[in-house]
Amino acid sequence: MKIKIYILVILATTLFVVNAAAKPATDPGHAKEHQIKAAFLYNFLNFVDWPAEKTNDVNKPIIIGIVDSEDFNTAFEPIKDKTFNGRKIAIKTFNSLTAETLKNKNNPEWPKISEEMKQCHIIFFYEYQSKNTLTTIFSELTTAGTLTVGQSDNFLESGGNINFLLIDQKVRFEINLSSAKQNNLKIRSNLLKLAYRVIDEK
């Protein structure tokens, strides 16, 4: 099945069955879950409006960052050669991020990591990150126009924008609309209607 058809079916139903048990990444069920989430991440591009500085230059790629999972990169194989609105898709991996790494202004890696994260259109936090780490990262990304996506408890409450859930062995997602607005992002109503839960602190 072509990737475009596959993606549209996923987003239209949000009901693909996956194995929720913890299994090695080589397990077919676990790999399937990765593929579904990768397809969701790609599809979020259709339902989020980024600030002009992130979209004006069509010669620059759309960057999807992945935190702490080189293993997840394989799920993007069907997407890597795709384009979105004429722009190439680029995958950027961030490994071993900690609050200490980002808080230490004297760390020579700090400015580079911070700037690279701000260049991303989407960042997916594969592994669980401590609240302190998330708070530090999100404070760096405030107003940067970067959509943050995770898959852990309290991700939204820590300031993340979208969080994946497994409900009845189905991939769903919840949205923190308030934090998305703080990041200068507009999430369209089409996506909000598909969300399992929406947080909007007005």
Low-confidence ranges of the chain (pLDDT < 70): 1-30, 69-70, 96-107, 202
What is the structure's pLDDT at 100? 60
Residues 6+ away with beta carbon under 8 Å from 195: 172, 173, 174, 175
Among residues 149, 153, 151, 139, the alpha carbon closest in space to that of 182 is found at 139
Host H or E run for residue 119: helix 110-119
* Integer CA distances (angstroms), 156 to 42, 55, 151, in order: 20, 25, 9
User: Which domains, from first to last, does the chain contain?
Assistant: 3-199 (3.40.50.2300)
Distance between CA atoms of residues 169 and 158, nearest Å? 25
Residues 6+ away with beta carbon under 8 Å from 126: 66, 67, 68, 69, 71, 72, 151
Residue % of the chain over a pLDDT of 70 = 77
What is the structure's pLDDT at 98? 60
What is the structure's pLDDT at 106? 65
What is the structure's pLDDT at 86? 87
Distance between CA atoms of residues 138 and 112, nearest Å? 16
What is the structure's pLDDT at 144? 92
What is the structure's pLDDT at 165? 95
What is the structure's pLDDT at 55? 87
What count of residues does the chain have?
202
pLDDT tens profile 146-172 = 999 999 988 999 999 999 999 998 999
What is the structure's pLDDT at 76? 79
Distance between CA atoms of residues 125 and 155, nearest Å? 9
Distance between CA atoms of residues 119 and 117, nearest Å? 5
pTM of the model: 0.82
Query: Exposed e or buried b for every residue in 173-182, given b needs 16+ CB within 10 A?
Result: bbbbbebbee
What is the structure's pLDDT at 160? 95
Host H or E run for residue 177: helix 177-182
